[in-house]
A and B are shown apart, each in its own frame.
Chain A
Amino acid sequence: MANNVDTASKIESAHRAGVLLSHRPKATWQIVGWIALVVALAALPAVASGYVLFMATLVAINVIATTGLNITVGYAGLLSIGHSAFIGVGAYASALLAIHAGTPLIVNVIAGAAAAFLVGLVFGAPSLRIKGVFLAIATLAAQYSLYFVFQQWTSVTGGDRGLSVPQVNILDLRDTGFYLFVVALAAVLCSAARNLFRTRVGRAFIAVRERDYAAEVLGVDVVRTKLLAFGLGAAYAGVAGALTGAFLRIVNPDQFTLLVSVFFLAAVVVGGQASILGSILGAAFMTLMPEVLRAVLELFGPRGTAADVAGLLSPLREFIFGAMIVGFLYLEPRGLAGLVHRLRGGGNLRD
């Protein structure tokens, strides 16, 4: 229980630090905030248990995947419900490299991203001529087709039993090394995404979302932009997949189901669409919520009744999950990021 609070509070403080950054006039506070954040994240392994470190690493991986989905869904307005399939492509590609070529993690991660990017393009292509929910169905097709490939191509993917991934030991620091690597990568990818939307390419994503035709008139190549947005989201998913495989040390088809895609979609909505801060908050929230719920129920339920409580817990989680999506869309369409913004008394600033 204490562990959960510990992580949550750290993440909370990390986010506060991140928020500070967007506030231009207080540049010194920004720097202080950043330093505090870095110190907090770097110091975590020293004070945290293996469990807290595990959850923190999981959050960081999920932040990468959520940021990717947010690029596709939030920024470019292309609804994807096949995100986990691309996570799977990255996971398999990188696991296969690790097993057969023994390449270092960073190479595997890049390969995972590239593979997911390419596969993303293949499934994104039909969406070029169609909009919105049609793409959703194309991504559903990706979800099922890729799952099928993962499961049936036994000679390569290991079928149902999956692949056992070799250990990654960065600087001989084991879990700590992996955690630091993932957090650093998440930071790099988040700031890359953030900066992307200050460039022409990134702004084109938003233009496409807001109005296809207008964007076209303004000289944006809509087809290419959409494809890029979709592929980029998939590439982030690929990175997350590569990390997941190396982290859990197993890659099997059941890790990449539709439910996982919906999980990330919810993370985007709850965190805040078209917001990097939102992706971070959403991923952390969605990953930690079940653990917190579990701890809360453990507090209330006396020992030994866990089975009876568990029967209620799963549907309750599902209900809360749905209610949160609806609630956020209804009350705060900009999600947790919008909430943070409002709490800080911000106006209509876009993240």
Chain B
Amino acid sequence: MKLRIALVASAFGACLAAAPAAAQDIKFSLQLPLTGPIAFTGQLNQAGWQHAIDWINKNGGVKGRKLDPFIYDSEYKVDVGIAGWKKAIANGDMAFSIGDGTPFIRAVTPENNERYKIMMSNTGYASDLTDVAKYPYHVLLGPTYSDQIAMFYKYIKDKQGSGPAPKVALVYTATEFGRDPIEFAKARAKDLGIEIVAEEETKFSGIDVTPHVIKLRSAAPDYVIFQGYAGNLWPEMVKLSREYGIRAQFMGTVYGAQADLVRGAGPAADGFLGIAPYEMNVAGNNGPIMKAMDAALKAWGKPYEGYSNVGYVQGWAIASFMRDILGKVVESGKAINGDSLIAAAIAMKDWDSGGVIGVPVTLARQRLPYGIIYRFSVKEGSFSFKPETGWIRVD
């Protein structure tokens, strides 16, 4: 037994020692929630990454070096995510790390700040990630949930003009991400003169939504914002609301506004407004990355009707951003590490995302506070969505 341990250990040591010599490839880790409560988006996310990496590697890689991911199913559990992260670190030479959700980032950040100093990004859009002093190595490629609420408010205020104070209902899940922007949403509403007429917290799934809809009916809001949903609950609420004669404008933040989900809600969701951090209409977009995405989706063999979902596009978005800043670091001749990558990310002004985001973007507090509001058309037998606004930037 001991002999075997020694053998394994020495083999392992040899691997470690040999690794730098073969370090042409740029290794990084992907902890994704491929199973568990948000597996749906995690799996799409992985597909997006995989397609993006294939495309990048086929098209010159990062200054000739290939991207080499270490993929690990984190199950959306913190300890499993850390296990995968440690495994990736043990494999050596990890250039950067894309991790699971925000709880994972919160867990590893102290140790990462003190010790590993690896650049990170993640799949969630939590508001506290803009605390740059606390998360110096994290970059969020999109708007936080609070930013998204701010975008909706901006839209509502513009729409309402000088009319009476708009009445808004906040409906959110009793989850970490569901509650994330609620404090902000209430405070900002006060500042803007928006009246919050209902604040409904619901479970994430598996409940009868009728009581919540009754509440909505008596609150009579002009706008209903859904936050933190990823399943069939808000579609059920929208259907029931229509039956109850509620005429509010329904709107949803990022994961709750995924095209496939809205489509599944059926005609009751016609006119639904959803925020996206990236362009979701893939076909017909002339950006080079979007064209590559279109080709990849066509070749994938899954049903494809010209649009995609957040998880998939997010994979492409982060992958192409990483390619560009890695390129800058390699060009400058600096070593690839967290400090050089973060510096390059912050220095990247007016990043051209190849069509993934409709305007040139610049990080603010290490996130991209840009989004677009789509209006969905869901009729019997037809489904599409179009930009309701241009690209919105908030502070």
Contact = CB atoms under 8 A, between A and B. Distances in A.
Contact of B78 (A2, A3, A252): A252
Contacts of A12: 1
B90 A51 contact: yes
B110 A249 contact: yes
A311 B35 contact: yes
Contacts of A165: 110
Contacts, number: 114
Interface in A1-39: 2-3, 5-6, 9-10, 12-13
Interface in A259-301: 290-291, 294
B83 A9 contact: no
A54 B110 contact: no
A162 B106 contact: yes
Contact of A311 (B9, B39, B89): B39
Given A9-B1, A49-B12, A54-B86, A248 B107 contact: yes
Given A2-B11, A252-B176, A291 B34 contact: no
B90 A49 contact: yes
Interface residues on B, range: 35 or more
A91 B250 CA distance: 41
Nearest to B116: A50
Contacts of A5: 8
Nearest to B40: A311
Given A51-B87, A252-B176, A307 B34 contact: yes
Contacts of A162: 103, 106
B309 to A, nearest CB: 14
Given A6-B8, A161-B176, A314 B103 contact: no
Interface in B17-59: 34-36, 39, 42-43, 46-47, 50
Contacts of B79: 58, 244, 248, 255
B179 interface: yes
Contacts of B6: 47
A183 B47 CA distance: 40
Contacts of A52: 90
A187 B2 CA distance: 21
Nearest to B114: A167
Nearest to B6: A47
Given A160-B179, A161-B176, A291-B83, A6 B35 contact: no
Given A2-B11, A10-B5, A306-B71, A250 B107 contact: yes
B391 to A, nearest CB: 30
Nearest to A174: B115
B73 to A, nearest CB: 5
A313 interface: yes
A106 interface: no
A47 B9 contact: yes
Given A6-B5, A291-B83, A250 B103 contact: yes
A310 interface: yes
A55 B82 CA distance: 10
B4 interface: yes
Given A2-B11, A306-B73, A314-B75, A250 B83 contact: no
Interface string A34-66: 000000100000011111111100100000000
A58 B83 CA distance: 9
Interface residues of A, number: 44
A47 B78 contact: no
B35 A249 contact: no
B164 to A, nearest CB: 34
Nearest to B102: A161
Nearest to A164: B110
Nearest to B108: A249
A40 B12 CA distance: 18
Interface string B73-117: 101001110110011011000000000000100111111001000
A29 to B, nearest CB: 15
A3 B107 CA distance: 24
B236 interface: no
A254 interface: yes
B316 to A, nearest CB: 15
B37 to A, nearest CB: 10
Contacts of B83: 51, 54-55, 58, 291
Contacts of B90: 3, 49-52
A266 B71 CA distance: 28
Per CB-CB distance, the 3 closest pairs between chain A and chain B, nearest first, are A314-B35, A310-B34, A49-B90
Given A5-B8, A248-B107, A307-B46, 9 more contacts: A9-B1, A50-B90, A54-B86, A164-B109, A252-B103, A255-B79, A310-B34, A310-B42, A314-B39
